[in-house]
Chains A and B, each alone.
Chain A
Amino acid sequence: MNAIILSAVWGVVMMLGGAFIKNKSTPKYLAIFGLSLVLISNCIEMNNGAAFFSIDVNEMLHFNSFNLTFISVALGCTLLYFLLNGRDIEKVGENVSEYFALIFFILSGVAIISTFNSLLMLFIGIEIVSIPLYILTGSDKRNLKSNEAALKYFLMGAFSTGIMLLGVAFLYGGSETGSFYIDNIISGNGPMPAMIASGLVLLLISMSFKVSAAPFHFWTPDVYDGAPTVFTSFMATIIKAAAFFAFVRLFENAFGSMHSQWQTLIVVLIAATLLIGNLTAVFQQSVKRMLAYSSIAQAGFMLFSLFALNNFAKEGLVLYAAAYSLASIGIFAILIKMKDFTIEGFNGLGKQQPLLAITGTVFLLSLTGIPLTAGFQSKFFMLMAAVQNGHHIWLVIFAVLCAAISAYYYFRIIQAMFFKDATPDTVLADDITPAFKLLLVITCILIIALGLFPNLLTDWLYF
């Protein structure tokens, strides 16, 4: 509860503050301070369940250690994101404090979709997350690509929201007691009534839109490519992880008992997402676009948590959210500093900026899933979950072969950085402060720490 209210309040504070603050860099510090407060208050709630606000939500939101831990992960990653990218957010445009305000509203939405217990709350949460995102995508107002991306995102998002609402309506009508509560929608595990089945499919489609699972991924590359890179970084990591969390939470609580009846749908989604994401990423020349496709590919792996729905899957999802967000935020932070976003633009970075190249390598290795990094542990947990589920072992084998393909495009950047030379006298990256370097190193240490001891995170889930 703390996270929802405090981040919403702080969003308002940031917005009003924007009217009075003339200095361009003050909003950043204000935002970092506010976010730290939100994070700390959420950690307190996670530790002993003490919410500062006692509001009767009529069980429409449900807080437990599992989803509070996830909120902490999301807030922590956002804090890191602010610290790493604060200066770049300032560069996007004039209305710096509004950008931060929007991000705070999004975080409030993230907290809602991680804790919802009612379909209405899910809907509201998704909207709170989406609308500020449309604005952020189009925040580079003079850039046509940014405008196009925002419009595309808005239309697609509105469309999928409509589908979601229709699904919610079906479920409300189909449930025996006429209820929006997700655990009351179906009872028992008999064959699914037609109304429920249609509602389920509609929700599946709209949530797949949000997490950009194939074949509902078409908006992703354009939007990620068009949006200002700092906001792509935020969208591709924290938002995506939160949408996934909501996805799994919805399907586990609402339809968990009929898992076997819709598992096949997920199998198709996973196979399509992995295949399309990985194969298309291979052919990209722009690193930004490649990361967009790779985020689709990673979504394929995250979908395994929906496929398996066991303890490993849930632990794996939180771990995956943390690992993937940390590594992607890191690699995006490096990307923003680059002059040239093509893979050739990274040529010779190892010589010019060894620290950037080395930390970048750690992020890429983590995304590939090499042991000792958090990325390995998260993939490992997902595979554990899938194998424990016992069905469709072929899908697991297919997934690891796709992971091997993913090595191809991640390693292309590593090859460019270390084994190829830049054209002489070019400056590859600019504006690298010692603080930025330090933060990159800290991110690396976090990734390796999680890679060695995933229990640092997973133990929190069972308090």
Chain B
Amino acid sequence: MDPKNIWITFPELLIWFPLLAGLVTFFIRKEKTVKTWAIIASLITLGISVASLFFADSVKYFYLNNVSYFWLKYLGSNFSIGLDGMSHMLTALTAIAFPLIFIATKNTAYKNANVFYGLMLLTQSGLMGVFTALDVLVFYIFWELAVIPVYFLCSRWGGEKRIQATFKFFVYTFAGSLLMLIGIIYVYQHTGGTVFAEHSFAMNAFYSANLTATEQNWVFWLFFIAFAIKMPVFPFHTWQPDTYEQAPTATTMVLSGIMVKMGVFAVIRWILPIFPEAVTRFDNIVIGLSVGGMIYASLIAIKQDDLKRFVAYSSIAHIGLMCAAIFTKSEIGLQGVMIQLFSHGINIIGMWIVVDLIEKQTGTRKISELGGVAHKAPALTIFLVVIALANIALPLTNAFVGEFMMFSGLFKFNMIYTTVALISIILAAVYILNMVQKVFYGESNSITEKIQEISLNQKLVLGVLVIFIFLFGVFPQPIFDLTKDTISALLIRIK
């Protein structure tokens, strides 16, 4: 294809389409139309994303996947966005997640549905921007923008204590982002120039920034704290259970399914290549925090009675492992992270859908009040058990591949950490099976009596998720193929 004939590229489509669709949504009045429109729009985005996967070869189709406009020319910042393997994978996850979320929560009634769905689509646009940005300033702006609609979503449609919980979340991430902004400016002052400016915000300029070891050591933390808050890694996680609990479930799915991936993604995209020396220097601290956080979160998850908080803590444990695996800087560990980024997104959305279904039907999220759901809703139970097993990373499920590889990476790095982290996997089995047992088996009671079998569209969504779980459990090769270039380029840069 002749590059001159291309008038719009994939990353542009992925950002602008959800943005436009979201803005249009604000002006639709009827709730039913809004929902249909949101589902259609998110399916179109999915279509764009799938189409882009056919042109994923970054050398052959460079012009389809990369674009750059002049923006703040005299500061050395351009509006550059592009898709490499990792971005392809994460934009695909984002594109898959939204229609699934919309369909699964179709029956939830929202006041001012047009605003709700509009904000959701704006979030999607912001997320796409984060995953495709090739200019640090553009990245920063999308990073912040992705949070703003979520703030409004949670504060408007969330649970009882939503305002405080969401505000805590917002201030946490805002403070983190501003620290990162200082870091960005500091690194910027040490980059080479462009034709128009002394320094540059371009990704490659940042990668080759001229930082001494001492400078790396402290600027590293400015970036890392911002990302650690988003992931979240212990001890920056305190916002997360409250927010997950209080947010409307559809938003929680976005938060835990995709938004936490922003943190992991950002560590791989920005921290590893910009601060290679600092990463080596602090790897023990970060892995220690992550692994410690895994145990801590797992222990709390065992004691949780609220299903939403329960899933929230289990998510902290999973993210901890990813963060630890990144800092081993091993090829196998990083590839595991890639698989797990995708798998965790799928699995946790599945968990939330099940939690949401139970809450909608019984009106409670207390594990202790539930029981015997399996008698009433066998199909729901089967789906849940599969998703739950994937969360424990049983073989044949998608999470097994990723976790196995991450553990291999961690094992090469340090055996003690591996052993401790493995304990948390055992703990995960304890809390998840315990939950399955208490909620789904045993005697049904007055609360679970009225549970009905799930509807067709919910079966459809959960079915799709289960297909993904098994598909990538036995055949993870597509994700490897997609991301291996990114990882090898990254490793060359670090070494």
Residues of A participating in the B interface, judged by any CB pair closer than 8 Å: 365, 370-372, 376, 380, 383-384, 387-388, 393, 396-397, 400-401, 403-404, 407-408, 411, 415, 418-419, 454-455, 458
Top 6 closest pairs, chain A to chain B, by CB:
A400-B178, A404-B175, A371-B141, A387-B185, A371-B144, A419-B155
B447 is an interface residue with CB less than 8 A from chain A: no
- Asked if A400 and B141 sit within 8 Å, CB to CB, the answer is no
CB contact under 8 A between A418 and B156, given known A370-B148, A383-B185, A387-B186: yes
- Asked if A419 and B175 sit within 8 Å, CB to CB, the answer is no
Complex Cα–Cα for A448 and B162 (A) = 29
Among A372, A397, A400, max chain B CB count under 10 A is at A400
| Chain A residues with CB under 8 A of B152 | 418
- Asked if B182 and A419 sit within 8 Å, CB to CB, the answer is no
- Asked if A397 and B144 sit within 8 Å, CB to CB, the answer is no
- Shortest A404–chain B CB gap in Å is 4
User: Chain B at the A interface: mostly helix, strand, loop or mixed?
Assistant: helix
CB contact under 8 A between A415 and B148, given known A383-B181, A387-B185, A455-B73: no
Q: Which of A380, A388, A401, A403 contacts B189 (CB 8 A)?
A: A388
- Shortest B121–chain A CB gap in Å is 16
CB contact under 8 A between A411 and B182, given known A372-B141, A388-B189, A455-B73: no
Complex Cα–Cα for A396 and B219 (A) = 13
Q: Which of A371, A407, A418, A419 contacts B170 (CB 8 A)?
A: A407
| Chain B residues with CB under 8 A of A403 | 178
Complex Cα–Cα for A388 and B171 (A) = 27
- Give B139-163 interface residues, CB cut-off 8 Å to A: 140-141, 144-145, 148, 152, 155-156, 162-163
| Chain A residues with CB under 8 A of B181 | 380, 383, 400
CB contact under 8 A between A418 and B155, given known A400-B178, A401-B175: yes
- Shortest A141–chain B CB gap in Å is 42
Q: Which of A383, A396, A454 contacts B72 (CB 8 A)?
A: A454
Complex Cα–Cα for A393 and B163 (A) = 34
A452, closest chain B residue (CB): B71
Complex Cα–Cα for A403 and B162 (A) = 23
B151, closest chain A residue (CB): A411
Residue interface bits B63-75, CB-to-A below 8 A is 1, else 0: 0000000001111
- Shortest A115–chain B CB gap in Å is 25
Among B74, B145, B178, B189, max chain A CB count under 10 A is at B178
User: Chain A at the B interface: mostly helix, strand, loop or mixed?
Assistant: helix
| Chain B residues with CB under 8 A of A376 | 141
| Chain B residues with CB under 8 A of A407 | 170-171, 174
- Shortest B380–chain A CB gap in Å is 33
- Shortest B136–chain A CB gap in Å is 12
- Asked if B167 and A415 sit within 8 Å, CB to CB, the answer is yes
- Asked if A419 and B185 sit within 8 Å, CB to CB, the answer is no
Complex Cα–Cα for A400 and B74 (A) = 24
Q: Which of B140, B167, B170, B179 contacts A400 (CB 8 A)?
A: B179
- Shortest B177–chain A CB gap in Å is 9
- Asked if A371 and B72 sit within 8 Å, CB to CB, the answer is no
- Asked if A387 and B182 sit within 8 Å, CB to CB, the answer is yes
- Asked if A383 and B182 sit within 8 Å, CB to CB, the answer is yes
Complex Cα–Cα for A383 and B180 (A) = 12
Interface size band for B: 20 to 34
Q: Which of B73, B140, B182 contacts A371 (CB 8 A)?
A: B140
CB contact under 8 A between A396 and B182, given known A408-B171, A419-B155: yes
| Chain B residues with CB under 8 A of A408 | 167, 171
A383, closest chain B residue (CB): B185
- Shortest A346–chain B CB gap in Å is 14
- Asked if B189 and A387 sit within 8 Å, CB to CB, the answer is yes
- Asked if B171 and A397 sit within 8 Å, CB to CB, the answer is no
| Chain B residues with CB under 8 A of A418 | 152, 155-156
- Asked if B182 and A400 sit within 8 Å, CB to CB, the answer is yes
- Asked if B144 and A370 sit within 8 Å, CB to CB, the answer is yes
Complex Cα–Cα for A429 and B75 (A) = 43
| Chain A residues with CB under 8 A of B174 | 404, 407
| Chain B residues with CB under 8 A of A384 | 75, 185, 188
A385, closest chain B residue (CB): B185
| Chain B residues with CB under 8 A of A415 | 155, 163, 167
Complex Cα–Cα for A150 and B181 (A) = 41
Complex Cα–Cα for A388 and B188 (A) = 9
| Chain B residues with CB under 8 A of A404 | 171, 174-175, 178
Complex Cα–Cα for A257 and B185 (A) = 25
- Shortest B205–chain A CB gap in Å is 16
Complex Cα–Cα for A397 and B182 (A) = 7
| Chain A residues with CB under 8 A of B182 | 383, 387, 393, 396-397, 400
- Shortest A360–chain B CB gap in Å is 14
| Chain A residues with CB under 8 A of B145 | 371-372
| Chain B residues with CB under 8 A of A396 | 182
| Chain A residues with CB under 8 A of B75 | 384
| Chain B residues with CB under 8 A of A401 | 175, 178
Can you sample 29 A-B contacts with CB below 8 Å?
Answer: A370-B148, A371-B140, A371-B141, A371-B144, A372-B141, A376-B141, A383-B181, A383-B182, A384-B75, A387-B185, A387-B186, A387-B189, A393-B182, A397-B182, A400-B175, A400-B178, A400-B181, A400-B182, A401-B175, A403-B178, A404-B171, A408-B171, A411-B167, A415-B155, A418-B155, A418-B156, A419-B162, A455-B72, A455-B74
Among B72, B75, B140, B181, max chain A CB count under 10 A is at B181
Complex Cα–Cα for A103 and B178 (A) = 38
Residue interface bits B244-262, CB-to-A below 8 A is 1, else 0: 0000000000000000000
| Chain A residues with CB under 8 A of B179 | 397, 400
Complex Cα–Cα for A418 and B171 (A) = 18
| Chain A residues with CB under 8 A of B189 | 387-388
B222, closest chain A residue (CB): A397
| Chain A residues with CB under 8 A of B141 | 371-372, 376
A401-B178, A407-B170, A454-B72 known; 13 new pairs, CB 8 Å cut-off, are: A370-B148, A383-B181, A383-B185, A384-B75, A384-B185, A387-B189, A388-B185, A393-B182, A393-B186, A397-B179, A400-B175, A408-B171, A419-B156
Complex Cα–Cα for A419 and B111 (A) = 12
Q: Which of B74, B140, B163, B186 contacts A419 (CB 8 A)?
A: B163
| Chain A residues with CB under 8 A of B178 | 400-401, 403-404
Complex Cα–Cα for A370 and B189 (A) = 22
| Chain B residues with CB under 8 A of A383 | 181-182, 185
- Shortest B72–chain A CB gap in Å is 6
B162, closest chain A residue (CB): A419
- Give B52-101 interface residues, CB cut-off 8 Å to A: 72-75
A384, closest chain B residue (CB): B185
| Chain A residues with CB under 8 A of B163 | 415, 419
| Chain B residues with CB under 8 A of A387 | 182, 185-186, 189
- Shortest B160–chain A CB gap in Å is 12
Complex Cα–Cα for A401 and B222 (A) = 12
Complex Cα–Cα for A454 and B181 (A) = 18
- Shortest A382–chain B CB gap in Å is 10
- Shortest A127–chain B CB gap in Å is 38
B173, closest chain A residue (CB): A404
Complex Cα–Cα for A397 and B226 (A) = 13
- Shortest A167–chain B CB gap in Å is 34
| Chain A residues with CB under 8 A of B188 | 384
| Chain B residues with CB under 8 A of A397 | 179, 182, 222
B182, closest chain A residue (CB): A396
Complex Cα–Cα for A16 and B47 (A) = 70
Complex Cα–Cα for A376 and B222 (A) = 19
Among B73, B141, B144, B174, max chain A CB count under 10 A is at B174
